[in-house]
Amino acid sequence: MTPQQTVLVQESFEQLAPISRAAAYLFYERLFELDPSLRPLFSGDIHEQGRKLMQILAVAVNGLDRLEPLVPALEELGRNHVAYGVVAEHYDTVGTALLWTLGRCLGEQFTPEVGVAWAEAYATLSSTMRRAAEVAA
């Protein structure tokens, strides 16, 4: 990621803060539309899951300009997700749902440049999780 892409991701994520609960709900709604087989992987309260998602995203987004300290936490997330039944293909579906959600929530602020920056950020973060998941599996 370029420094400018990092700034775009961080600034656009700040815009989600006031609507984070709604954004999380939209994300899961879209995720389950894209792949209904994922719904059973989320057996708990979906609102609580959404809160956790936004917290994790906040940590990841705020750490994009210094990724090295994030790597152990991302690897642990990847390993933990194996136990939940997550497989490699699910990461692509999550990425698609995330970008769709950002587009819906940010509206005109989700410019092509912001979209590319988010796609790059997600690829960076999810690739670390995937590698750890592959080793754990």
Q: b/e map of 104-135 (b: 16 or more CB within 10 Å)? A: ebbeeebeeebbebbbbbbebbbebbbebbee
Matching residue, tokens 């995720």: 31
Residue 136 pLDDT greater than 90, yes or no: no
What is the rounded average pLDDT for all residues in the chain? 95
pLDDT band at 44 (very low <50, low <70, confident <90, very high): confident
Query: What span, in angstroms and rounded, lies between the C-alpha atoms of 38 and 61?
Result: 24
Position 43 confidence tier, pLDDT thresholds 50, 70, 90: confident
For position 13, which CATH number holds? 1.10.490.10
Cβ–Cβ under 8 Å, residues 115 and 8: no
What is the average pLDDT across 104-119? 97
H/E stretch holding 71 = helix 71-83
End-to-end Cα, the chain, rounded Å? 28
pLDDT band, very low/low/confident/very high, at 100 (cuts 50, 70, 90):
very high
pLDDT at 137: 74
What's the number of domains the chain is made of?
1
Token pair recorded at residue 46 = 């979906």
- The first and second tokens of residue 48, run together, are 């609580």
pLDDT > 80? residue 111 = yes
Q: Give tens-digit pLDDT for 54-76.
A: 999 999 999 999 999 999 999 99
Number of neighbours of residue 47 by Cβ within 10 angstroms? 12
What are the tens digits of pLDDT across the range 8-41? 999 999 999 999 999 999 999 999 999 999 999 9
- Host domain of residue 14: 3-136
